[in-house]
Amino acid sequence: MRVLAIESSCDETGIAVYDSEQGLLSHTLYSQIALHQEYGGVVPELASRDHVRKTLPLIEQALQDANTRREQLDGIAYTAGPGLIGALLVGATIGRSLAWSLGIPAIGVHHMEGHLLAPMLEAQRPEFPFVALLVSGGHTMLVRVDGIGRYQILGESVDDAAGEAFDKTAKLLKLGYPGGPQISRLAQQGNPQRFRFPRPMTNRPGLEFSFSGLKTFALTTLQQNGDDEQTKADIACAFEEAVVDTMVIKCRRALEQTGLRRLVLAGGVSANRSLRQKMAKLAADQGMELFYPQPQFCTDNGAMIAYAGCQRLLAGEGEPLQITARARWRLEELSAL
Ligand code: KG4
Ligand code: ZN
């Protein structure tokens, strides 16, 4: 089965062609970072309009790169939520209409299921069951995964998502948007001994996260120590270490609690180098397996939507003719394959 996918849930237009026999045939990505940079974050209406401009040309490019004619497609997948409703509607409208015009099925994919299954695009794929740490700009959760659509949320953030905390802290350090990669870069010049930030919610049982206090901690530290370059780097370093350590502690706990020996990292924040290194150490110490996507498939992309959509289309799922998108959508509402 050959599937064309459209990801347009936020500030990236991602298109991919995935073949269930041959794997990923092509993928293109257009990032709107430059467009939103001057506002310090994503402006939803500008995002929607840019998806309108970019989606069709990118589809043409992805089909060409995959050496595929429209008539060779067996299905279309598009991100149907959660995300910015206007942005989602662009991909859903184009995807559903294209599928109708070609007489093939369409499937609306859950964005976080896309992230969750992105490690399946790699040569070394995790087997089920596993524990997944899903860390993006909008979500932070630990999930027990027993199969596609068989998700049990073990813990979530009670306030800011991990990526959101990176972005907000970057903003107060006057770094650009998105903040995760910028904090990570600056942190490398930081002195890890100078400041120690708390590891929120680790001194009590449970798998919930809370990151909003760390941003406030960064602000107070900045106000007390000045905003010279070295201080900013030291704050970036302390902040990143606190977030990463907290996630390592919670992952260890989730593995203990479930008795599982496989850990999957996914979502934009899983591109973080320090997170990968510390999780690799956890995996080595505990003798368990660790999986994560290559960095370009950690952040938003079309390939993960193509993979997830293809699995659901193969199982016979599909959308009716109406075009639907959902700003909010719980992962646990998905049907098990
Ligand atoms: O998954 P994603 O591309 O979009 C959402 O679904 O939200 O995640 C974007 C988030 C942003 O908050 C960004 O700052 C963060 O992922 N991010 C990182 C890194 N790369 C992206 N955070 C920490 N370190 C990184 N290297
Ligand atoms: Zn995402």
| Distance in Å, CA 301 to ligand 2 centroid | 8
Q: Ligand 1: does its nearest atom lie under 6 Å from the Cβ of 140? A: no
The residue assigned the tokens 């093939």 is 104
Q: Ligand 1: does its nearest atom lie under 6 Å from the Cβ of 95? A: no
Q: Ligand 1: does its nearest atom lie under 6 Å from the Cβ of 270? A: no
| Distance in Å, CA 137 to ligand 2 centroid | 7
| Distance in Å, CA 90 to ligand 1 centroid | 22
Q: Please report how the helices 229-258 and 179-187 are oriented relative to each other, as an axis angle in degrees rounded to 10.
A: 110
Index of the ligand 1 atom closest to the CA of residue 166: 14
Q: From atom 8 of ligand 1, which residue's Cα is the shortest distance away?
A: 268
* pLDDT score for 4: 99
* pLDDT score for 149: 98
Distance, in Å, from the CA atom of 189 to the CA atom of 230, rounded to the nearest integer, reads 8
Q: Which listed ligand is nearest to 32 at the C-alpha?
A: 1
Neighbour tally for 245: CB within 10 Å: 17
Residue type, 181: P
| Distance in Å, CA 232 to ligand 2 centroid | 27
Q: Which listed ligand is nearest to 240 at the C-alpha?
A: 1
Index of the ligand 1 atom closest to the CA of residue 137: 7
The residue assigned the tokens 């010049």 is 189
* pLDDT score for 108: 98
Residue spans of the chain under pLDDT 70: none
The pTM score is 0.97
Neighbour tally for 257: CB within 10 Å: 16
Q: Ligand 1: does its nearest atom lie under 6 Å from the Cβ of 83? A: no
* pLDDT score for 177: 87
Token pair, residue 42, equals: 């994503």
* pLDDT score for 70: 98
Distance, in Å, from the CA atom of 301 to the CA atom of 200, rounded to the nearest integer, reads 30
| Distance in Å, CA 107 to ligand 2 centroid | 18
* pLDDT score for 191: 98
* pLDDT score for 40: 86
Q: Where are the beta strands (DSSP E) in the chain?
A: 2-7, 12-19, 23-31, 75-81, 106-110, 130-135, 140-147, 150-156, 262-266, 289-291
Distance, in Å, from the CA atom of 273 to the CA atom of 291, rounded to the nearest integer, reads 14
